[in-house]
């Protein structure tokens, strides 16, 4: 069991990392947010513990802090995916629940969830999930409930879970063709191109595009 102090530090590091990702890690903003959402004076605790460094106007993470922050972020965002895609929690409840989850997941459980979900790259809000050791092996486990279209066999009927559009602005086109979450699609073939059918629309995709479409087996 983690101590309250440790949980606060993890929480604060996770928030700080999010700010750095968005380039909003100004000192005043970070300080204000942390003391409001975590605990007063937590920023100086981070600095004293060697997790963060104060710049002239910014706050950044030390390597030690980054390591913990990265793990927290990974756990939080994987939890979000799990809650959104498998448990199908309503949108408003995902984030608070994920905040609890992130502190209780062990590394083994985290990797198991990651595998179950097909090693997702993005959280439901479109932020990048830091990859873990399991993603490097990229073992396509048949136990995955949500998996990328790349791993689906030809002839299977699946439902679109989500599409990772943030890496590729062109993929927005998939949305306007009508390939939105919940759409039922049939994968007709995988070579030389992927051919899927959604309703009366037949679409050809290359493998990279298919890798960005995550689907749920029925």
Partner 1 sequence: MVETIVLVGNPNVGKSVIFGRLTGTYAVVSNYPGTTVDISRGAMTLAGRRYEVIDTPGTDALLPSSEDEQVTRDVIMRVRPAAVIQVADAKNLRRALLLTFELIECGVPLILALNMHDEAVSRGIRIDAPRLENILGVPVIATIGITGEGIPELKKRLPHARHGNFNATYPPEIERLLTETAAGFGAPAPCARAAAAMLVSGDRTVFRYVAGALPDGFIGRLERKVADFVRPPRLLIFETKNMYAAQITGEVITSQGTPAESRLARLGALCMRPFPGYLIVLAVLFIMYEFVGVFAAGTLVNLLENHLFGRYVIPLAGTLINGAIPSEIVREFLMGPYGLVSMALTYAAAIVLPVVAAFFLFFGLLEDSGYLPRLSVMLDRLFRTFGLNGKAVLPMVLGLGCGTMAALGTRILETRKERLLALLLLSLTIPCSAQLGIILGLLAGLSWQAGLIWFVSITGSLVAVGAAANRVLPGHRSPFILEIPPLRRPDFGNVVTKVKMRLVWYVREAVPLFALGTAILFFSDKLHMLSVLERVARPVVVSAMGLPAQVTPTFILGFLRRDYGAAGLFVMAQDGLLDARQVVVSAVAITLFIPCVAQCFVVIREQGMKIAIALFAFVIIYAIGYSSLLNMVLKTFHPLILAPLGRG
Residues that bind partner 1 (CB under 8 A): 22, 95, 124-126, 165, 168-178, 180, 188-189, 191-193, 195, 199-206, 208-209
CA–CA separation, 26 and 10 (whole Å): 19
Distance in Å, CB of 156 to partner 1, minimum: 16
CA distance 151 to 78: 20
Angle at the Cα of 160 from the Cα atoms of 180 and 205, rounded to 5 degrees: 85
The minimum distance between CB 129 and partner 1, in angstroms, equals: 15
Inter-CA distances, 157 with 73, 176, 197, Å: 33, 21, 10
In angstroms, give the least distance from the CB of 19 to partner 1.
12
Reported as half-sphere exposure (CB side, CA atoms, 13 A), residue 3 has a value of: 3
Nearest distance in Å: CB 10, partner 1: 20
Pick between residue 134 and residue 205 the one whose CB is nearest to partner 1. 205
CA-CA-CA-CA dihedral for 207, 208, 214, 217, to nearest 10:
10
Q: Which is nearer to partner 1, 137 or 193 (CB)?
A: 193
Between 53 and 175, name the residue whose CB sits nearer to partner 1.
175
CB 114, min distance to partner 1, A = 22
Minimum CB distance to partner 1 smaller for 94 or for 134: 94
Report in angstroms the alpha-carbon separations of 32 from 39, 52, 155. Answer: 10, 16, 54
Report the DSSP beta bridge partners of residue 198: 201
Cβ distance to partner 1 smaller for residue 139 or 202: 202
């Amino acid at each position: 069991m983690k101590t309250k102090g440790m949980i606060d530090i993890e929480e604060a590091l996770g928030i700080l990392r999010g700010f750095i990702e968005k380039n909003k890690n100004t000192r005043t903003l970070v300080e204000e947010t942390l003391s409001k959402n975590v605990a007063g004076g937590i920023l100086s605790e981070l600095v004293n513990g060697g997790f963060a460094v104060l710049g002239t106007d910014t706050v950044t993470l030390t390597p030690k802090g980054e390591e913990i922050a990265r793990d927290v972020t990974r756990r939080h965002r994987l939890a979000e995916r799990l809650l959104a895609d498998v448990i199908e929690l309503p949108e408003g409840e995902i984030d608070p629940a994920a905040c609890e989850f992130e502190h209780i997941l062990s590394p083994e459980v985290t990797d198991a969830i990651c595998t179950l979900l097909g090693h997702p790259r993005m959280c439901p809000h479109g932020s990048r999930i830091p990859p873990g050791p399991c993603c490097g092996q990229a073992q396509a486990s048949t136990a995955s409930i949500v998996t990328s279209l790349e791993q689906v066999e030809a002839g299977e009927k699946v439902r679109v879970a989500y599409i990772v559009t943030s890496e590729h602005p062109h993929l927005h086109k998939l949305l306007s063709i009508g390939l939105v979450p919940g759409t039922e699609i049939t994968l007709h073939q995988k070579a030389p191109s992927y051919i899927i059918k959604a309703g009366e629309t037949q679409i050809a995709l290359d493998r990279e595009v298919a890798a960005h479409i995550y689907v749920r087996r029925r």
